[in-house]
């Protein structure tokens, strides 16, 4: 993993970093750690996320998966290690700057803006891709009109693509659970991310809903986006992931393609107990 520190390109250069396999990676974590006082939530995690693939993070509850997400997105500051995104060292950056660079996320349970209606939730996420000044948008002059029209058109298109366009004028609380997740994905996509982090996207879904969501994730990747997801549903993980990292007690215990991880003794032990 030393290749990450030594081989990462200079900030601002978005060329591929040299990963361990020689493949360019969109996101590269090295020695990443987070301490909360005496509790070590995450220690020495290295990960390479290749572009246009689905990478999954699995592990028992409390393994540090969501903490890892929070470190990557800038919601938390790491106490050790580095995060490189698109070849840029974004360690310690504020969340909105990381988002502007092309990263977006969804949450474990959908965290929508309940006081904004469905389409406004998506339009609000266009903030980072619009430039009009306060004066321009107050007076509706300059860049503001064209930008707003573009944002609305894009929001409508996104709502159509996640199949909740018919809900566009509703308030989020009126939506069924599966559609709330879809709205959260549409909102994340509105920031035009290259990398999208999804925290348990199928949690609480019935199998048919989960299958639809997996199809949606596949579409995202086919469109050229990269997905990093946390998932508990093993059917989903095994079916959709190109590679998997397994965390246990804040440390990486295995990684590789699904078939390989499934056979890993340490993984079986973490999930099933010592007898395996």
Partner 1 sequence: MEQFFQQVVNGVMVGSSYAIVALGFGLTFSVMHVLNLAHPETAMVGAFAAFVVATLFTTNLLVVIPLAVLAALLAGLLIERLAIRPTRGRHILTSFIATGGLSIVMQNGAQRIFGVDPVRVAVQVEGVQTVGGVIASNMQLMTFGLAVAMMVGARYYVRNTRWGRATRAVSEKHEVAQALGVDINRVSQLTVGLSTAMAGAAGVSLALLHSQATPFMGAIFGTKSFVCMLVAGNRHIEGIMFVGILLGVLEALVAGYISASLRDMVAFGILVLVLYLRPAGIFGSYEHD
The residue ranges that bind partner 1 (CB under 8 A) are: 73-75, 94-96, 99-100, 104-105, 107, 111, 113-116, 120, 123-130, 132, 134, 137-138, 144, 147-148, 151, 187-188, 191
CB of 44 to partner 1, least distance (A): 25
Closest CB to partner 1 among residues 8, 103: 103
Taking the C-alpha atoms of residue 40 and residue 64, their distance in angstroms, rounded to an integer, is: 9
Beta strand 80-85 with 17-18 is: unpaired
Beta strand 27-36 with 195-199 is: unpaired
Closest CB to partner 1 among residues 103, 210: 103
**Residues 96, 105 contacting (CB under 8 angstroms):** no
Taking the C-alpha atoms of residue 159 and residue 177, their distance in angstroms, rounded to an integer, is: 16
Taking the C-alpha atoms of residue 43 and residue 33, their distance in angstroms, rounded to an integer, is: 4
CB of 139 to partner 1, least distance (A): 10
Taking the C-alpha atoms of residue 224 and residue 165, their distance in angstroms, rounded to an integer, is: 23
Closest CB to partner 1 among residues 17, 83: 83
**Residues 246, 253 contacting (CB under 8 angstroms):** yes
Closest CB to partner 1 among residues 34, 252: 34
Q: Tell me the DSSP string of 183-195.
A: HHHHHHHTT--SE
CB of 105 to partner 1, least distance (A): 6
CB of 136 to partner 1, least distance (A): 9
Closest CB to partner 1 among residues 17, 104: 104
CB of 190 to partner 1, least distance (A): 8
């Amino acid at each position: 993993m030393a290749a990450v520190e030594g081989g990462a390109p200079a900030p601002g250069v978005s060329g591929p970093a040299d990963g361990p396999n020689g493949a360019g990676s969109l996101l590269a974590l090295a020695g990443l750690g987070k301490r909360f006082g005496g509790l070590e939530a995450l220690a020495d995690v290295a990960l390479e996320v290749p572009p246009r693939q689905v990478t999954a993070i699995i592990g028992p509850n409390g393994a540090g998966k969501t903490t890892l997400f929070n470190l990557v997105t800038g919601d938390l500051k790491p106490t050790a290690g580095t995060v490189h995104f698109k070849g840029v060292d974004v360690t310690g950056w504020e969340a909105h700057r990381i988002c502007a660079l092309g990263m977006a996320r969804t949450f474990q349970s959908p965290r929508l803006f309940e006081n904004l209606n469905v389409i406004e939730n998506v339009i609000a996420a266009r903030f980072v891709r619009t430039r009009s000044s306060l004066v321009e948008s107050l007076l509706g002059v300059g860049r503001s009109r064209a930008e707003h029209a573009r944002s609305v058109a894009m929001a409508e298109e996104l709502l159509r693509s996640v199949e909740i366009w018919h809900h566009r004028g509703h308030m989020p609380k009126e939506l069924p659970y599966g559609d709330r997740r879809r709205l959260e994905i549409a909102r994340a996509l509105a920031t035009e991310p290259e990398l999208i982090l999804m925290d348990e996207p199928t949690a609480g879904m019935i199998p048919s809903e989960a299958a639809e969501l997996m199809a949606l994730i596949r579409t995202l990747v086919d469109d050229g986006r990269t997905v990093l997801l946390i998932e508990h549903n093993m059917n989903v993980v095994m079916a959709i992931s190109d590679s998997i990292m397994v965390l246990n007690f804040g440390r990486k215990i295995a990684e590789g393609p699904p078939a390989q991880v499934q056979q890993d003794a340490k993984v079986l032990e973490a999930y099933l107990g010592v007898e395996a």
